[in-house]
Amino acid sequence: MEFVLQHKDGGTSARAGEITTAHGKIETPIFMPVGTVGSVKGVFHRDLAEEVKAQIILGNTYHLYLRPGTDILEKAGGLHRFSAWDKPILTDSGGFQVFSLAENRKISEEGCEFRSHIDGSKHLFTPENVVDIQRSIGADFMMAFDECPPGTAEYGYASKSLDLTNRWLERCFNRYEQTSGKYGYSQTLVPIVQGCTYPDLRVKSAEYVKQFDADAYAIGGLAVGEPAPVMYEMIEVVNGVLPEDRPRYLMGVGTPVNLLEAISRGVDMFDCVMPTRNGRNGMLFTSQGIINIRNNKWKDDFTPIDPDGTCFADHIYTKAYLRHLTISGEMLAAQIASLHNLAFYLWQVKQAREHIIAGDFLAWKEMMVDKLSQRL
């Protein structure tokens, strides 16, 4: 993997760059649609590529390990071939999913023992086998195995958790260096900065991961209940330590406003289930603000979903039609809303990139934050 930092904004820490992987190039800032089990829920790959203009999608190690399993993925030639997606893929290590199974898992120095949410069977994730699983999946970006503590964790717990994550990270990199890709191309292992909302722990974590000289770095454990200003503070703290010449990935974030604020603080990559999950429930993100399409006010609004945007469906479907489909419980409603929201997110990061290059990102960002914070 290679990263070229192409432009830096003069008034903020926003950056524009280009990542080159074995499966194509990625222009940053970038948003990655979440394809947890090898698909972005309800969205054809054709539409992801042509309408949403996704450049990379995310898969999840925990879910893919349980179903369909690494044997099937290896027989298929990896997730790219199995799912017919020929662009880059990033896989989460499964750490967040495992640790969210609070009553069905046990953490130890060895790793994390857990029970499947599918059939209750017992499994063990270790730093080593999580690397092995992601080798079998064939992701371009493989996330290191970490513990993701609760956002409200007390300092003592957060500190011990970080120490465990650091020991696991060393084991991840040892396994990574002992193995190689299974499908004829290289893969990148990405360490994750943890430390909850404690600046000194975040600095400690960022300094520790730097020593591995990774091709990219991730910021985890945010957007888990802490106030947005605290999240932004942690991003600034971490990016003040991480090297400038590597991409920075903020995991699981967030709203359109969160993305803009994080971009202004030097983040390059994002993922979040919000565009599709909220879309399926009738929430639409537009260039003018947020729409609850179930509201009665849209029943006879025959204007496009986002007249001022350039996203999928903006010039095809009206608010009244989408409301009708949503109220009627039609599957097409969830598909349209998901496509629209994903296209909006990709449109927004592309706009951010263009304004960074043009040199007027700060003014544009402040204008957009005001609009995107409104509920229409």
Catalytic residues: 92, 271
Q: Tell me the residue type at 367.
A: M
Give dist(CA 69, CA 63) in Å, integer: 9
- The C-alpha torsion from 323 through 58 and 80 to 113, rounded to 10°, is -120
**To which residue do tokens 């599709």 refer?**
276
